[in-house]
Structure 1
């Protein structure tokens, strides 16, 4: 398959729930998506979102090249249950010199093998469970993005304790070593706000810092 003159092209290998959701999301963002699976029914579902969904019986190098995987900027291997297939497919995609290779893992050991091969590893079930757990523990937790070094960007609903308190008075940098990077208010996101801004009902703050400090802050404002 010849490479098209287009923006980023994505390859999704494995069209279970995780893979199909990725195909849908990327296609809605008008990205070119190559979606492959050996199951014809799954491929048929993917064709609702991309014309480049195809049945590929074998995930060897020749078959992946025929599908055009080598032309992708990013490939996500969404095979978690069959560890051997996941590892071999990841090796094959890396051998095709795809710039960004992401692989789904179902266990830490599985993920460690994929990481050693050179892929970025994601743990969808683990990540979802962690987010759910945080939502159950912290009343104000909305969402988070994990960074290296136990650092997170977290969206936190302003609690009653913070309403009417200014950013200066909250003094989060000194007390918790946290920085506010954005405030969401009235369906608008502000990244440039004065220190005398007073938190209002319905505000959502986006903070960045060490996870332990974020959790200490959330405990204090509940």
Structure 2
């Protein structure tokens, strides 16, 4: 069976390697309703994933022809989750590039491995490192509720409302001018507001979602808490 992307799907994903990281990623993508293709050499792992996607293939040897036979070239994004096998991972990225995949993301287990993958045009992830960074950031301050790393410098963070902001308006606190950050949402028990005006007045039940440079977010936390 060859995977063909459905016309109504806005984005389709391929996952190669169903270790802990690959399986968790696949389940999350499937739960989000995305069109998904998964590949692994282990028949038991593939059998488990067939409950979530019909596009689950046992591929014993990852070469260009075998990958093409699955139809993975019809995926918009493919994630290579076999970082522990550096040589296989590198060759797989090369094959995916040759098949014309729009976006290739690869798991790396070392900085050296990551540098090679970057030179091949892949986006690189370090799952264990990234999880450690996220945990450290959440432990850094009890005022930070959530944190998303967009790049090496830019974050989205959800913060409990600074005491100094309570009773003030968005316009009067002027986070953009004072801290170089943008407030993109306000959360409270009533819900999430994304269409904000400068006359919105903060309450003690609010949390603010800000986007910007990581150091500037840290400066906001230090200034206000």
In structure 2, runs of 5+ residues without a counterpart are: none
Aligned to 2:13: 10
Map of 2:53 onto structure 1: 50
CA contact (8 A) 1:150 1:210 kept: yes
Q: Report 1:79-94 matches (<5 A).
A: 79-94=82-97
- Determine whether 1:31 maps to 2:34: yes
Deviation at 1:144, TM superposition (A): 2.9
Report the counterpart of residue 64 of structure 1 in structure 2: 67
Q: Alignment length, in residue pairs?
A: 222
Local SS of the residue matching 1:102: strand
Closer/same/farther in 2, CA of residues 126 and 171 from structure 1, 3 Å limit: same
Moved more, 134-143 or 192-201: 192-201
Q: Match for residue 79 of structure 2?
A: 76
After TM superposition, the structure 1 = structure 2 runs for residues 162-173 of structure 1, keeping only pairs within 5 Å, are: 162-173=165-176
Using the alignment, how far apart are the partners of 1:102 and 1:187 within structure 2?
38
Q: State the shift of 1:180 in Å.
A: 0.8
Residue segments in structure 1 that go unaligned for 5+ positions in a row:
none
TM-score with structure 2 length normalisation? 0.89
RMSD: 1.9
TM-score, length of structure 1 as denominator length = 0.90
Which residue does 2:102 correspond to in 1? 99
Deviation for aligned residue 1:49: 1.0
Shift of 1:2: 5.9
Question: 8 Å contact 1:15–1:46 — kept in the other structure?
Answer: no
